């Protein structure tokens, strides 16, 4: 983080290093649960973040925004920084459930090529957003609108729903949650995650045939050594 | 509020002044987000109130009920006061998530012409309610039933999920939330809201074409004066 | 509870007395709301427990599991104790929203004949779980995985989401919530619940015709004696 | 409420009718629990409102303020409306835990004769506030300061922590909570509350001597009729 | 639990087997943290339960009560079952923060020899309760009173703040929380806890002299084997 | 953050750059509220973090620890890295309220010269901790102990209660909360904060004499321009 935190208010960083697009897409196909395991179980946003429509599954590179309570001015500033394949990740400087984002901003974001919005606050016009097919993960849904009066920043490191997000990081979001992969780690994480995925098909077949995890993972010895007792 | 608060326990007010039906319907078509903006961003119920089925969108005039924890007796009293086009708004005198309302009461409310229920507590039989097509916004879903032992009141001013609701007020409810418009303000709010709505179509088209909100709303000067800095 | 609580860590009880299968199925058809009333309004899990897919409605006999925070080892041990018709009820020894259960464990549980999982924690792979048709009620959805390091127990009495569950108890779960019926009470509860259900059809028809609950339940006298006043 | 809600943004009402000072003091001596009973158990703020210092016990007439999230401008406007014996009751138009009030504002409020602050948000400088002896009831304590940019209103009806407060209402606050008595009801509530209080001394003496409430309140018959069974 | 759950509504069990008084006192001197460890880290009430006055530290045998929301009738019934050395443990059949207990009931409980109250709800008159020196652990403080209308039960097994409490169990409560020790386990738990306690004095002296836990507990090898790396 | 996040599990960084001790002490005298303002209102931990004893006021340089749910092993590792004047800041990789820290660890931390602990989880032995005079800010108090089985890290960047903390940062903690000042910003923040503080004495005197903030801060014009209306 070369930008000192105190200087980050009122700053828009235009040139950011985005995670490789092919790797981002690869991570998206693997899904948040597998990627999170491959990360060593770090980088997950808190589970109160929920999709406005289940079934959506996307990945992209982060354009970050820091907003203030009840003020969505910086989302317009962020729109200009969006490149095709980006996901906007919006943090708020305090707890807020207002509806920062609706169908007009979604129209603008889609026109810029954004794949989704992840926001630690509320959104509105959700029926229209679903019809438009623009995926959103948020903390709340609220008809309460916002004003445009206070500067925030775009493309600085932000803390969003308990996770540190740097601009350009890979963002993987689906029904299970949202995981952030640092751009520099994306290739390696994708490799580890793919290996996990490759093993799953065979495991699933064996479990479906009635083999127990106790045997497939060879757990009985460890359980006995740990002291597990069977009684009747 | 001509009825002193202390005299409101055990009272049913039969004659209430309802917001004009055509205006109520107009507000409903505009939706909670637009109406809430037109209200000056007041009158919204807290966002923990959620529809049992997404996609429902209704408006009506409020029949209010004050209930006590775990007791739904007054919902039966309220049923008799329902007129076609009403929405029952139920407040509880303390926090409670019990299931106050199920398919039998919904049958009765529908027979009376009610359009929806808004309740700061729980409901049950939600699968049947959805099949019946009766819209409900509630704080919780719970199989826990209630008793019928304590008097409350019907058609007194109530505080429901953080909003003041007077009997006869217009209620606008959809996926974004629930907003209350005082009956006396309904015409003016509908006018202001319609003006907002009229402008949205053109804005949407421009944003979809790639015009940025920064330019469409002419924000660049204000952002610069506020001190926004672009860095590379 | 013949097993002292202090001796229950690291114990798997193999032989449990399950509620009668036909009675369990009967309870399932009646649904959680009706069964909960018949129980005298006890035995309900807290309403923060939600289905991952609405519309599911199941009943089964409980296989109980006590897990520790962030550790799902015992779910594999539990799998071996599942018999067709069982529902696994998983309690955690402290608050935790991690994703304990995903598509691999679901495959194994289904192969053993499990009907559902009820877990006071999080699950993941929810899109796949829904596609598989395996019903789950949980406190959270989270991509965060778990480890396999700490012993818990299987088929001991557990406290799950505020309810005491003994192995073999009948579990009734649907959109309204989850209710636990002690195996010894199942027959009687089913009888009481059926009687309630038998009366509902006629009531529904009368309410649909416009008869008020005030009259159908003969409430007007009691309301007047309690002091209810009608004003204009 | 003669002021329509939509016109209340940006309004300061200078002349308000305050509850009679002697009655307010009387209510304060009786305490929030006794007064709340005398009110018919209405008018209580939610119990998340806590004193910054236990042991404080005050009563006063309400000067109300409506603030916006993160903005305390109107507290300065309110200061001018304070008369000796007043308690400032501050509501926020959305959830916020920022520290709106510290030692400087407390100095000003005390100079104007304010007896306390009740605020549905956060305060700071709490160690100094305690040293100054200025009582505060709040939702939170937070070092996070606020800005001065958005108009609110002073002396309009507000919803504070779940209760409706009109300017001039009597406010009774102590360790048990905060109760609002409408100015018009103050005399009657004080009389009812005093009667309750007069009976308490004798009851306390009897209970201290070992008489059971079961006998003192003559409950045994009612319990038996309700079906209470004693078993060994 | 020889009493079936469905038959427990409206029951008072008079003869209960209390944990040995000397052992209870011994557990009280050891404190909740040490006893909880000795229990194998089970039996703790949730940490939202807080003392109304810090510094209190008590132990006693449980008299249990099941109450309903907003109704404290059974606390009067429970008073008669109190013997010197008892602690009343009150559970509520649903979430409720009302003030069930105040100075009058405390006077009666003290006259009967009760040592404390543990209640999963609210209490009031807290300033007086502190002056009386009657210890209370509760979920909330609230001026909101309760009615006396619904039967509950006394001395049945209850679920209180996430723990199962049987009548007669040892209850240990202090600033760290509340732990329940089944009467049958009390002697053994006290022995295990005492052994832990005996070792603490020496450990404390070594740590105070600057010895690190890393060395005192011989952790360095295990940490290295687990893969801990020191970098500069 | 030169250490990639994925490599930070199981790492202890021995050499960290601490904020200048004199500056840290200066920040401590200014207090969290003034320092937070000087920071531009960033860097504050969430207000659910509360001191176990009010009145404590400390500042120090951060030794950071990342712990896992229910496991305090790394606190022993951290002890060795403490230098006189440090404050240990402990983050947990998931939500947890267990009691990670008690009187033995406090003895060890004090022997190493630690000034305080800030932990986003629970602590225990709080009565003894208060007697020892060791200040702690925590999310919870809980008798529930922890195990020592899982590696975390020491002196890596951590997210604690919503704030990013780097090892060596200045930590200012008092009754109003906890604020983190990056080591590189400490001198400048102290200067800005001191200027604010210097102006406060004169302001306080003027407000105490009855001057209104409206006049002292010259707000009347701005309020009028914003549209504030006075009515009678």
- Residue from C99, C103, C110, C144 whose CB has the most chain A CBs within 10 Å, to mutate: C144
Strands A50-51, A136-141: pairing is: antiparallel
**Closest CA of chain C from B136, distance in Å:** 14
Give the H/E segment covering residue B174.
strand B170-174
If one counts every other C-beta atom within 10 angstroms of the C-beta of residue B202, the result is 10
| Beta-carbon separation of A96 and D94 below 8 A | yes
Strands B58-67, B153-154: pairing is: antiparallel
Structure tokens at D7: 């016109």
Give the pLDDT confidence of E47-66 residue by residue, as tens digits.
Answer: 999 999 999 999 999 999 99
Residue C97: name the closest of C77, C53, C67, C134 by CA. C67
| Beta-carbon separation of D214 and E76 below 8 A | yes
| Beta-carbon separation of C33 and B102 below 8 A | yes
Mean pLDDT of E191-202: 94
**Closest CA of chain C from B26, distance in Å:** 29
| Beta-carbon separation of F141 and E175 below 8 A | yes
Alpha carbon distance F90, B49 (integer Å): 36
Which residue in A has a C-alpha nearest to residue C108's C-alpha?
A: A207
For residue C183, which residues of chain E lie inside 8 Å, CB to CB? none
What is the reported pLDDT for F40?
A: 84
| Beta-carbon separation of D4 and B159 below 8 A | no
For residue A4, which residues of chain F lie inside 8 Å, CB to CB? 182, 184-185
- In the predicted model, residues of chain B with pLDDT beneath 70 are 1-8
Strands F11-13, F116-123: pairing is: unpaired
| Beta-carbon separation of D163 and B163 below 8 A | no
Among the partner-chain residues D68, D97, D149, the one whose CB lies closest to the CB of A95 is D97
| Beta-carbon separation of E10 and D54 below 8 A | no
For residue D97, which residues of chain F lie inside 8 Å, CB to CB? 47
Mean pLDDT of F65-84: 96
What is the reported pLDDT for E77?
A: 98
Alpha carbon distance C197, E204 (integer Å): 65
Indicate whether D7 pLDDT > 80. no
Mean pLDDT of E13-35: 97
- In the predicted model, residues of chain C with pLDDT beneath 50 are 1-7
User: Which residues on neighbouring strands pair with residue C170, listed in sequence order?
Assistant: C61, C181
Alpha carbon distance B138, B151 (integer Å): 22
Mean pLDDT of F3-22: 80
If one counts every other C-beta atom within 10 angstroms of the C-beta of residue E22, the result is 11
What is the reported pLDDT for D41?
A: 84
Give the three-state DSSP class for F18: coil
Indicate whether F93 pLDDT > 90. no
- Please state the ipTM of this predicted complex: 0.92
At E5, the pLDDT band (50, 70, 90 cuts) reads very low
Neighbours of chain D (3+ CB pairs under 8 A): A, B, E, F
Give the pLDDT confidence of C56-70 residue by residue, as tens digits.
Answer: 999 999 999 999 888
Which residue in D has a C-alpha nearest to residue F216's C-alpha?
A: D76
Alpha carbon distance A219, F99 (integer Å): 31
| Beta-carbon separation of D39 and B6 below 8 A | yes
If one counts every other C-beta atom within 10 angstroms of the C-beta of residue F28, the result is 21
| Beta-carbon separation of E40 and C9 below 8 A | yes
| Beta-carbon separation of C14 and A231 below 8 A | yes
Give the pLDDT confidence of E173-196 residue by residue, as tens digits.
Answer: 999 999 999 999 999 999 999 999
Give the pLDDT confidence of F158-205 residue by residue, as tens digits.
Answer: 999 999 999 999 999 999 999 999 999 999 999 999 999 999 989 999
Average pLDDT of chain A? Answer: 94
Indicate whether A206 pLDDT > 60. yes
For residue D43, which residues of chain B lie inside 8 Å, CB to CB? 5
Residue C228: name the closest of B80, A136, A123, E225 by CA. B80
- Residue from C176, C199, C218, C223 whose CB has the most chain B CBs within 10 Å, to mutate: C176
| Beta-carbon separation of E217 and F76 below 8 A | yes
For residue F9, which residues of chain A lie inside 8 Å, CB to CB? 40, 42
Length of chain D: 232
**Closest CA of chain B from E11, distance in Å:** 20
What is the reported pLDDT for D8?
A: 59
What is the reported pLDDT for B8?
A: 58
At A7, the pLDDT band (50, 70, 90 cuts) reads very low
| Across A185-189, C214-218, E7-11, least confident range | E7-11
Q: Do chains D and C touch (3 or more CB pairs under 8 A)?
A: no
For residue A176, which residues of chain C lie inside 8 Å, CB to CB? 99, 124-127, 141-143
Strands F170-174, F177-181: pairing is: antiparallel
Mean pLDDT of E131-146: 96
Among the partner-chain residues C14, C143, C148, the one whose CB lies closest to the CB of A44 is C143
If one counts every other C-beta atom within 10 angstroms of the C-beta of residue E142, the result is 29
Give the H/E segment covering residue E59.
strand E58-67
For residue D73, which residues of chain F lie inside 8 Å, CB to CB? 219, 223
What is the reported pLDDT for A41?
A: 84
| Beta-carbon separation of A143 and B54 below 8 A | no
What is the reported pLDDT for F99?
A: 96
Average pLDDT of chain E? Answer: 94
For residue E68, which residues of chain B lie inside 8 Å, CB to CB? 70
For residue D79, which residues of chain F lie inside 8 Å, CB to CB? 212-214
- Residue from F68, F95, F99, F100 whose CB has the most chain C CBs within 10 Å, to mutate: F95
Q: Provide, for chain B, the percentages of residues in helix, strand and coil under a 3-state DSSP scheme, each rounded to the nearest 5.
A: 35, 25, 40
Q: Do chains B and F touch (3 or more CB pairs under 8 A)?
A: no
Indicate whether D1 pLDDT > 80. no
Alpha carbon distance B160, A226 (integer Å): 54
Indicate whether D134 pLDDT > 60. yes
Alpha carbon distance D104, F34 (integer Å): 12
Give the three-state DSSP class for B70: coil
Neighbouring residues of C87: CB distance < 8 A, sequence distance ≥ 6: C58, C59, C60, C61, C62, C63, C114, C115, C116, C117, C118, C171, C173
For residue E43, which residues of chain C lie inside 8 Å, CB to CB? 5
CA dihedral defined by C31, C34, C36, C39, rounded to 10 degrees? -120
Give the pLDDT confidence of E101-133 residue by residue, as tens digits.
Answer: 999 999 999 999 999 999 999 999 999 999 999
């Amino acid at each position: 983080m070369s930008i000192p935190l105190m200087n980050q208010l009122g700053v828009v960083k235009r040139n950011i290093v985005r995670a490789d697009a092919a790797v981002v897409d690869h991570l998206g196909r693997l899904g948040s649960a597998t990627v999170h395991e491959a990360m060593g179980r770090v980088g997950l946003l808190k589970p109160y973040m929920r999709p406005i429509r289940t079934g959506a599954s996307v990945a992209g590179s982060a354009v970050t925004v820091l907003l203030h309570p009840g003020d969505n001015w910086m989302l317009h500033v962020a729109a200009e920084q969006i490149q095709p394949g980006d996901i906007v990740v919006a943090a708020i400087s305090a707890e807020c459930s207002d509806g920062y984002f609706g169908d007009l901003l979604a129209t603008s974001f889609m026109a810029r090529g954004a794949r989704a919005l992840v926001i630690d606050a509320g959104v509105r016009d959700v029926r229209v957003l679903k019809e438009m097919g623009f995926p959103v993960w948020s903390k709340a849904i609220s008809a309460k609108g916002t004003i445009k009066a206070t500067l925030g920043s775009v493309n600085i490191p932000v803390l969003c729903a308990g996770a540190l997000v740097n601009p350009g990081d890979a963002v993987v979001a689906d029904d299970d949650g949202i995981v952030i992969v640092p751009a520099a780690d994306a290739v390696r994480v994708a490799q580890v995650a793919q290996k996990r995925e490759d093993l799953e098909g065979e495991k699933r077949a064996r479990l479906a045939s009635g083999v127990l995890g106790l045997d497939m993972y060879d757990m009985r010895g460890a359980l006995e050594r740990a002291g597990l007792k069977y009684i009747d």
